[in-house]
Amino acid sequence: MLAVALLAVVLATANLVGGFVVTDRMLHMFHAKREVGRKGAATKEAPRKVNGR
Amino acid sequence: MSLLSPVWTSLLYLAAAVFFILALRGLSSPRTARRGNLIGALGALIAVVTVFLSSRLENIPWILAAIAVGSAVAAPVARRVKMTQMPQLVALFNGVGGGAAALVALLELSHADDPWVRLAIVFTLLVGAVSFAGSGVTFAKLQELMTTRPVVFRGLPVVMAAVLLAAVAAGAGVVITGSAVPAVLLLVLGLAAGVLLVLPVGGADVPIVISLLNAFTGLAVAASGVVLGNVLLVVAGTLVGASGTILTRAMAAAMGRSVAGILFGAFRGGSTAGSTAVSERPVRSSSAEDVAVLLGYAQRVIIVPGYGLAVAQGQHTAAELAQALEARGIDVDFAIHPVAGRMPGHMNVLLAEANVPYESLKEMGEINPEFKTADVALVVGANDVVNPAAKTSSGSPIYGMPILEVADARQVVFLKRSMRPGFAGIENELLYEPQTSLLFGDAKDSLAQVLGAVKTL
């Protein structure tokens, strides 16, 4: 019983911690254009969220 | 220890729920997304600490050790994994969430006398197990531990129906008897259903299945909140379930198909799964120098990235090429198909890693009318998302999927490894058109050669 419960905690923690870290790493890469004066309208696109938690 | 009164516990849970909602709001724009994610993590931290302070827990050292193990495994993997392997990691993390919910439900059965709580346990067990096993198979497919093509066998729908019927029977057994035997049986049936659900899915449908399984995990977590009598779990699970469902539907709509059609299309299709055969038909193959001339003297170039770019780790070279062309006064954009790659937003993440500003990443609806005015469409490691068979060949597994209209461009250049068809295994007629030329080789090598040649123009 305890072993199963602890396995559940390990899995849930992996889901939670892994999900947030992976999302942060991916979002870290998105940035707006730095140089100014380039033509073309700046349309903003939302990066799709890949893991809800 | 129960240091916190029920009122304080509720208030902290409410604060965590508000943080989750603010997190989702932040995630809806690239400028605030990172902060949004951190707010979500803070909400989760508040929630976990509140559980420790508000309930009488036994085995606290063991629980802390389990948390340490889970974090120690997940965080370094999440930090170090290659960007190209992100889809399978996301699938894996999602799957363990469903698995955790299912295990919690199994353990709670021994003190669940209320039939409604038992019903919630049945739901959590089944959906959590489906999500766990389905994500596992998705991981195996993406990691190429097994074939990446749809796996269909005769009688699959019958087997699936039998498994689901047996699951309903086992579920009824759990609600009536509250015994562990039908519960374990239900868990096994759920795992089998998860495997059967994902086996027939391949190609451009994989990102949608990842999103769907994410929604399943959310629903399982919400149901486990009912089982445990924890309101915050219900709220958090519902948020995940709802956002996952919205994303799944949006992606399916972007492919011009229904979610059911994606899941069960391969069941019916059977033989349409395509072949791995290499075609013998003649194509116009060209050199890196020829491609550089085409690009270097164009006014408008649209680059279409696909999974091949990710596999070859060619995103930085692609970004450099775009910069070199822009330095020559050429208008360059990246056309992103909603299901390009193997997970939602895969191409966006990859190109963002290579410092391509998000303004240059254009979604399908926005970029499609612009192919008419483009001199060159440069297709890098993409196939299914530009395959006109989606429009013309009603027997094709990708029929009905909106594609990037690269055929409208004056010239189309494919950078391909070989003539082997894409993930979905369907021949691409566009390769044989007169305005199309092909440069064979690893996407990164080809891009580097073209980049070198552009610089000498």
Complex-level ipTM:
0.79
Is B412 in a helix, a strand, or coil? Answer: strand
**Contact B256/B407 with Cβ under 8 angstroms?**
no
Residue B328 CA to residue B454 CA, distance in Å, equals 10
User: What residues of B are in contact with residue A25 (Cβ under 8 Å)?
Assistant: 78-79
Residue B307 CA to residue B203 CA, distance in Å, equals 10
Phi and psi at residue B292, in whole multiples of 5°? Answer: -60, -40
Q: Is the pLDDT of residue B271 over 50?
A: no
DSSP B300: E
Residue B50 CA to residue B55 CA, distance in Å, equals 8
CA neighbours within 13 Å on the CB side: how many for B13?
A: 20
CA neighbours within 13 Å on the CB side: how many for B446?
A: 24
Amino acid at B285: S
- Name the H helices within B229-258: 231-254
Going by pLDDT thresholds of 50, 70 and 90, the confidence category of residue A42 is very low
Q: Which residue of A has its CA nearest to B66?
A: A10
Q: Which residue of A has its CA nearest to B348?
A: A47
The predicted-structure confidence for B24-76, as pLDDT tens digits, reads as follows: 999 988 789 999 999 999 999 999 999 999 988 889 999 999 999 999 999 99
The predicted-structure confidence for B96-105, as pLDDT tens digits, reads as follows: 999 999 999 9
Catalytic residue, from B384, B408, B442, B445: name it: B384
Interface test with A, best of B31, B34, B92 (most A CBs within 10 A): B34
User: What residues of A are in contact with residue B41 (Cβ under 8 Å)?
Assistant: 20, 24
Residue B421 confidence (pLDDT):
64
The predicted-structure confidence for B303-339, as pLDDT tens digits, reads as follows: 999 988 988 889 999 999 999 999 999 999 999 998 8
Phi and psi at residue B302, in whole multiples of 5°? Answer: -120, 125
- In this predicted model, which residue has the larger pLDDT, B340 or B130? B130
The predicted-structure confidence for B133-180, as pLDDT tens digits, reads as follows: 999 999 998 888 988 777 888 888 899 999 999 999 999 999 999 999
Which of A4, A12, A30 has the CB atom closest to B33's CB atom?
Answer: A30
**Contact B318/B380 with Cβ under 8 angstroms?**
yes
Residue B113 CA to residue B178 CA, distance in Å, equals 7
DSSP B207: H
Residue B131 CA to residue B346 CA, distance in Å, equals 21
Q: Is the pLDDT of residue B425 over 70?
A: no
Q: Is the pLDDT of residue B129 over 60?
A: yes
A 5-44 near B (Cβ less than 8 A):
5-34, 38-44
- Name the H helices within chain A: 2-28
Which of B66, B359, B360 has the CB atom closest to A9's CB atom?
Answer: B66
User: What residues of B are in contact with residue A23 (Cβ under 8 Å)?
Assistant: 37
Going by pLDDT thresholds of 50, 70 and 90, the confidence category of residue B270 is very low
Residue B452 CA to residue B449 CA, distance in Å, equals 5
Residue B393 CA to residue B320 CA, distance in Å, equals 37
Which of A1, A5, A47 has the CB atom closest to B345's CB atom?
Answer: A47
Residue B1 confidence (pLDDT):
55
For residue B153, what are the CA distances in angstroms to A48, B160, B200, B202, B416? 34, 11, 9, 14, 31
pTM, two decimal places: 0.80
Residue B330 CA to residue B338 CA, distance in Å, equals 25
For the beta carbon of residue B341, count every other beta carbon within 10 angstroms.
Answer: 28
B 261-320 near A (Cβ less than 8 A):
none
Residue A52 confidence (pLDDT):
42
Residue B2 CA to residue B274 CA, distance in Å, equals 60
Highest mean pLDDT among B246-255, B303-312, B446-455: B446-455
B 331-350 near A (Cβ less than 8 A):
331, 333, 343-345, 348-349
Q: Is A52 on the interface with B (CB under 8 A)?
A: yes
Which of A34, A39, A49 has the CB atom closest to B27's CB atom?
Answer: A49
Amino acid at A17: V
CA neighbours within 13 Å on the CB side: how many for B35?
A: 7
Q: Which residue of B has its CA nearest to A48?
A: B345
Q: Is the pLDDT of residue B91 over 70?
A: yes
Instruction: Kindly determine whether residue A8 and residue B30, on different chains, have CB atoms separated by under 8 Å.
Output: no
Residue B8 confidence (pLDDT):
94
Residue B425 CA to residue B84 CA, distance in Å, equals 21
Amino acid at B116: W
Going by pLDDT thresholds of 50, 70 and 90, the confidence category of residue B242 is very high
Interface test with B, best of A23, A24, A39, A44 (most B CBs within 10 A): A23
- Catalytic-residue membership of B384: yes
For residue B411, what are the CA distances in angstroms to B48, B290, B321, B435, B456? 56, 12, 18, 5, 22
Is B283 in a helix, a strand, or coil? Answer: coil
- In this predicted model, which residue has the larger pLDDT, B209 or B259? B209
Highest mean pLDDT among A2-16, A22-36, B422-436: A2-16
Residue B398 confidence (pLDDT):
74
Is A38 in a helix, a strand, or coil? Answer: coil
Q: Which of B131, B427, B122 is nearest to B281 (CA)?
A: B427
User: What residues of B are in contact with residue A1 (Cβ under 8 Å)?
Assistant: 107
User: What residues of A are in contact with residue B81 (Cβ under 8 Å)?
Assistant: 22
Name the maximum alpha-carbon separation found in chain A.
Answer: 64
